[in-house]
Amino acid sequence: MRDVFNLITERVLRDSGGEPICTHVGDVRACAIKVHPTYQVLRKKVRLGRSKSIASLRLWESVCTLARESGRQDQEKWLMILLDLLTPHFGRWSRELARKWQYDIFDIRSAMVHGTLEAWFSTASGAPARNLLDAMMAGAFSGARGLVGASRSETCTEGPAQLMADAACEEDSSLLASSIIDVGTVQDPDADERIRGERTGSLLQRMGAMDRAQALHEKLRSGCCHEIETPSITPTQTGRSWVDGRNLYYRMSDLLPHYIDFSKAAQVLGLSESQASRMARKGSLPFSVLWAGNSRVVAVKPLMNILGIQDSIVHPDDVENGAGHVSGA
């Protein structure tokens, strides 16, 4: 039986591929800090045990936010990193417990990971990162104690592979932006899509932001736009791409910056920076914080969701048509 701690580390190292990793905002290209270490170097500097450093706690808070708010595939990646940052602090304790109770260390470590994941999924998403850290560590120790304190040694039946699969499960599924058409009220989804795109284009034209949209459209049509994740084509959208076989759809958030300053995010909600800081410490702030060095930033997509701003899917042709109507072209 393989050690689940080693399996987690191997998974993270394989996913990182030895490339620089950004634990500030998740994307090296979008981060204001230009120097990023590899994961191996970063892991050696993190201290999350009794002697927690400020830098390590800020990194933990950012990774927690990324594990909560990223896309499904990235959520799994950052959750694995969270686990791997914790396992060094579980190693010695698990060895001592195995020796004291004459219990298989692999079973103990599997129980610790299971308890850590249970704490992650059962803790409210708005909980402060430090409280979440304490809860996950307590969950690991409770899981191990529950195993060795049970009346029979077969209490932990999940193997490492099963636990790794469990880590990929999302806390709760939510409605994605691709589900943007209410079929109960709209008779023609294609017409609804075109109207939505044209209204977006007219709004961008009035705001003087159509040039940015046009630049994105040119990248999409040339096939050079690799920085965005193109939404999947639904059956009702197939007709828009059958001519050249290309999916040119994009989301409105692709026209916006990925992150904004903490103070601006607070201002959007009608809060001062000091008020927002106090709320963040109490865990009552509605958005999560990412740390880039000593600066705080907030991801735009989750902020849009909090404000009830729909991240609509639009097609360049519709957007340009709407802009053209407003400009008289």
CA distances to 78, 139, 147, 161 from 110, in Å:
19, 12, 10, 10
Phi and psi at residue 271, in whole multiples of 5°? -115, 150
Assess whether 127 and 192 both reside in one domain: no
Q: Does the structure show a pLDDT above 50 at 182? A: no
Assess whether 273 and 311 both reside in one domain: yes
The answer to whether 50 touches 133, Cβ cutoff 8 Å, is no
Assess whether 213 and 119 both reside in one domain: no
Task: Reduce the secondary structure of 269-281 to three states and give it as a string.
Answer: CCCCHHHHHHHHH
Q: Does the structure show a pLDDT above 60 at 294? A: yes
Assess whether 88 and 11 both reside in one domain: yes
If you average pLDDT over every residue of the chain, what do you get? Answer: 80
111 occurs within a structural domain: yes
Assess whether 155 and 242 both reside in one domain: no
Domain count, the chain: 2
Assess whether 138 and 15 both reside in one domain: yes
Assess whether 138 and 202 both reside in one domain: no
Q: Does the structure show a pLDDT above 80 at 227? A: no
Assess whether 157 and 206 both reside in one domain: no
18 occurs within a structural domain: yes
Q: Does the structure show a pLDDT above 50 at 302? A: yes
102 occurs within a structural domain: yes
188 occurs within a structural domain: yes
- Return the sign of the alpha-carbon dihedral for residues 71, 125, 87, 51: positive
Domain boundary (134, 167, 200) is at 167
* Per-residue model confidence (pLDDT) at position 228: 66
Domain boundary (167, 185, 210) is at 167
Assess whether 240 and 131 both reside in one domain: no
172 occurs within a structural domain: no
Q: What does the alpha-carbon distance between residue 77 and residue 6 come to, in Å, rounded to a whole number? A: 16
53 occurs within a structural domain: yes
For 287, the 3-state DSSP assignment is: coil
Provide the domain limits for residue 8.
4-167
* Predicted confidence (pLDDT) per residue in 157-180, tens digit: 454 444 444 444 444 434 344 433
Least confident of 60-69, 111-120, 242-251: 242-251
Domain boundary (133, 167, 201) is at 167
318 occurs within a structural domain: yes
Assess whether 318 and 193 both reside in one domain: yes
The answer to whether 259 touches 25, Cβ cutoff 8 Å, is yes
Q: CA-based diameter of the chain, in Å?
A: 81
Which residues touch 297 (CB under 8 Å, ≥6 apart)? 24, 25, 259, 260, 261, 262, 289, 290
The answer to whether 31 touches 263, Cβ cutoff 8 Å, is no
Assess whether 67 and 186 both reside in one domain: no
Assess whether 27 and 154 both reside in one domain: yes
Question: Which of 13-17, 48-52, 323-327 holds the top average pLDDT?
Answer: 13-17
Mean pLDDT over 266-271 rounds to: 89
From the list 66, 70, 140, the residue with the least C-alpha distance to 109 is: 140
106 occurs within a structural domain: yes
